[in-house]
Chains A and B, each alone.
Chain A
Amino acid sequence: MMFAVAILAVLAALALAVVRALAGPTAFDRLLAVNSIGTSAIMLLALFGFLTDRPEFLDIGITYVLLNMIGTLAVLKFFRYGALGHAQDPERDEALR
């Protein structure tokens, strides 16, 4: 019962984040909303596992968290270097090309 209440709250937050992801005037708003959707998905997974008495869903949650982390690092690298395919060293980058 208490997990159902928490799941409803997370679902409401997820819907609001989707609204912002669709409406967001800038790409950064959308990125923020997508990040929030990812977090909501993780919490939803964990709570649903507890609701159905199958907490092994948490393993999928951990996978999601790690995926989120890789996504964050990709975004960081993208904004730092302007592209994902570039090496840090320009000369090595030329050699790779």
Chain B
Amino acid sequence: MEPVFTMASWAALCLGGFFYVIGAVGLNRMPDLFTRMHAVSVSDTLGVGLLTLGMAIHSGASLITVKLLIVVLVLWTTGAVASHALARAALHDGEKPVLVGADGRLTPTDCVTLFPELGPRLAQPLSSEAVETGADQGDPAAATWIPGRSRSGDTNATASAAAEMGMAAMRINMLGALGLMKMFRIGTMSSARSRGRTRDRGSR
């Protein structure tokens, strides 16, 4: 590989790693959910993009570059979608952004007081289905969405269910890790153990 390409690859990988760590540091240092999302978006777009660019320069024009392109395009699109869904759900759940108050200190502020036009939109429930079924049962808690309170009236229902989904995602990740370990051990995912081992030894 030409020295120019090597240097470009080096620079992209180092910059990408730098922005990736910056985003993760922001995830821990920022005061509230919305600023944390802002920090993570740095590593999810610029960090991932630069790291992938570094790898793409390294591999040159090949099938691997196409695969890298697929990975980065899917990551960019789903990242934006996930951020939007997360922010929307958090606002509906009554999450208060931490802003500089009148006394110059950081205080959790209800965003309806800042943007009154948000009020009616936040007063609507996320689920149209819930309105219909709630009206049928004559349950006032189900018919009107109150920020900070989920549909069932139980404050933690949405939160605990979201935590369960996080656990499910972690379990999927764990399965992936086990598959990866198998791949390391025997060189392939599908072949018998003995055959894989000899192949792995031979390749090193």
Measuring CB to CB, which residues of chain A are less than 8 angstroms from any residue of chain B?
Answer: 2-3, 5-6, 8-10, 12-14, 16-17, 19-21, 26-43, 45-47, 50, 55, 58-69, 71-72, 74-76, 78-82, 86, 88, 90, 93
Q: Which A residues are CB-close (under 8 A) to B93?
A: 28
Measuring CB to CB, which residues of chain B are less than 8 angstroms from any residue of chain A?
Answer: 9-10, 13-14, 16-18, 20-21, 23-25, 27-28, 33, 36-37, 40, 43-44, 47-48, 51-52, 54-55, 58-59, 64, 67-68, 70-71, 74-75, 78-79, 81-82, 85-86, 88-90, 92-93, 95, 126-127, 129-130, 132-133, 150-151, 158-163, 165-166, 169-170, 172-173, 176, 179-180, 183
Docked pose: A64 CA to B169 CA in angstroms? 11
Q: Which A residues are CB-close (under 8 A) to B163?
A: 27, 30
Using CB atoms, name the residue of chain B closest to A68. Answer: B78
Docked pose: A11 CA to B160 CA in angstroms? 28
Pick the residue among A28, A45, A55 that contacts B162 (CB under 8 A): A28
A67 to chain B, nearest CB (A): 6
Q: Which A residues are CB-close (under 8 A) to B165?
A: 31, 71, 74-75, 78
Question: A5-B13, A28-B89 known; A39 and B48 CB under 8 Å?
Answer: yes
Work out how many contacts link A and B, with CB atoms closer than 8 A: 196
Pick the residue among A10, A32, A34, A74 that contacts B20 (CB under 8 A): A10
Docked pose: A2 CA to B53 CA in angstroms? 13
The answer to whether B172 and A26 touch across the interface, beta carbons within 8 angstroms, is no
Question: A12-B21, A28-B86 known; A64 and B129 CB under 8 Å?
Answer: no
